Chains A and B, each alone.
Chain A
Amino acid sequence: MILQTLENVTTTHVADRTGWTAKAEGMCRGEICVPAPGALRDNGTVDINVMANRLGMPLVHDDNTGVWALGPATATGRALSTAAAADPEFIDRSGHPFRLSSLRGRKVLLVAWSSY
């Protein structure tokens, strides 16, 4: 997840890219919640440092541009923390946004391919 700043990052933005939602009970994804006191701020934004620390997410900073990259969680030691499928926003051939959640009610075989 690319961040121009660690301030004023909304819960929606974090959830969209990482799959983790900041709630009063902690950082939650699917059926699991990891206690993270202070991660959800009173104004509805996420304290990225608290979240990153609790979920074991690395933060990489580029000094030339001031940009941050937040890596994925390592809290469970596996790529998946839950079987609930993440729902990132893709684009289709025409450039229109597309989410896997639009296919609910059908089985989905998500195959990764590339030109390289």
Chain B
Amino acid sequence: MDVNPEHAHPFIDAAAPTHPSLIDTSHATGDLFGFVNIPMAVWIDEDGNLVRPAEAASIERSPMRDMDIPDGLPERLDRAFREIKKFPEVANEYRAAIVDWAHNGAASKFALSPDEVVQRSQPRPDTHARAAACFEMGQHLLRTVGHDAAVPYWREAHALFPENWTYKRQAWTLITTPADATENDLMQGPNDVYEGNWLDDVIAGGGGESYSVVPQL
């Protein structure tokens, strides 16, 4: 999910995957599947039916969870690490569930019925739907008019749907990453364009514990 495919290319090239690696330049998968953060995943069976809705999709325990936070870090970086260490950890269980489904298909206890898939999908009140329209309008104006034209719509999307991290992170990274940088600024700190930033919004949303859509396995 990247508004600019050029931003995705280095990651794809480095991974050299044997599976299809696709780019969603319009964040359409957010509307269509309910992705609100990354990594998230859906499972689709051989007939094209979803058997699990959008949920956090980490399959490896992050080394950041086990590392010791060095003394003397800048205050915001220290706090960011502490919030990251609070992220819910179900990577091993989620990976095992994928393997179970791969082997057992519809007989897997992790493959849900169509009704369960719909009921467990992300909530979509009117505010979230309007946020999606605003975010898409912003993407369109970014491409056709320029960045400044996108900002009001992205600000509205953030206000309407504060739990949607893809809307925020996509917008923030275009502000906080210098034009000549070789890597994105993942801290996405305070800036003059948007009211929020990564760390303060994580804390406002309930802390690292609330940062992801935890799979209910």
Name B38's contact: one of A1, A70, A112 (CB within 8 Å).
A112
Does B151 count as interface, using CB distance less than 8 angstroms?
A: no
Q: Which of B8, B119, B134, B170 contacts A60 (CB 8 A)?
A: B134
B-contacting residues, A57-80, CB 8 Å: 57-60, 62, 64-65, 67, 69-74, 76-80
Q: Is A9's CB within 8 Å of the partner chain B?
A: no
A113/B144 contact (C-beta < 8 A), A73-B129, A93-B21 known? no
Q: When A85-B42, A90-B24, A114-B2 are in contact, do A60 and B133 touch as well, CB less than 8 Å? A: yes
How far in angstroms is the closest Cβ of chain B from A54?
14
Specify which of B5, B39, B130, B149 is in contact with A113 (CB 8 Å cutoff).
B39
In the bound complex, how far is the Cα of B57 from the Cα of A114, in angstroms?
A: 13
Verify if B28 is at the interface (C-beta below 8 Å from A).
Answer: yes
B75-110 Cβ-contact flags toward A at 8 Å (1 or 0):
000000000000000000000001001100100000
Q: Which of A65, A69, A109, A111 contacts B145 (CB 8 A)?
A: A65
Contact of A91 among B5, B123, B184 (CB under 8 A): B5
Chain A hits for B20, CB < 8 A: 92, 98, 103
Q: Is the CB of B105 within 8 A of A2?
A: no
Please determine whether A71 and B132 come into contact, CB atoms closer than 8 angstroms: yes
Contact A79–B53 (Cβ < 8 Å) = yes
Query: In the complex, which residues of chain B have a beta carbon less than 8 angstroms from the beta carbon of A59?
Result: 133
Separation of A87 and B26 alpha carbons in the complex (Å): 14
Pick from B10, B35, B149: contact of A64, CB below 8 A: B149
A59 vs B129: C-alpha distance in the bound complex, in angstroms? 9
Q: Does A101 contact B (CB under 8 A)?
A: yes
> Which residue of A has the minimal Cβ distance to B144?
A65
Q: Which of chain A's residues have a CB closer than 8 A to the CB of B31?
A: 71-72, 79
Q: Which of B10, B32, B98, B137 touches A86 (beta carbons < 8 Å)?
A: B32
Contact B40 A112, beta carbon cutoff 8 Å: yes
The answer to whether B28 touches A107 (Cβ under 8 A) is: no
Interface residues of A in 81-111 (CB under 8 A from B): 81-88, 90-93, 95, 98, 100-101, 103-111
Within 8 A of A (CB), among B1-36: 1-2, 5, 7-13, 20-25, 28-29, 31-35
The answer to whether the Cβ of B118 comes within 8 Å of any Cβ in the partner chain is: yes
Q: Quick one: CB contact mask for A1-44 with B, threshold 8 Å, 1 for yes?
A: 11000000000000001010000000000010000000000000
In the complex, residue of chain A having the shortest beta-carbon distance to the beta carbon of B19:
A109
Please state if B129 and A57 are interface contacts (CB–CB under 8 Å): yes
Whole-angstrom CA separation of A31 from B21 in the bound complex: 29
CB of A72 within 8 A of CB of B124, answer yes
Contact between B98 and A92 (Cβ–Cβ < 8 Å)?
Answer: no
Asked if A85 and B126 make an inter-chain contact with CB atoms under 8 angstroms apart, the answer reads: no
Which residue of A80, A87, A107, A116 is within 8 Å of B46 (Cβ)?
Answer: A107
Query: A55 — nearest CB in chain B belongs to which residue?
Result: B129
Residues in A whose Cβ lies below 8 Å from that of B166: 112, 114
Point out the residues of chain B lying under 8 angstroms from A88, CB to CB: 24, 28-29, 32
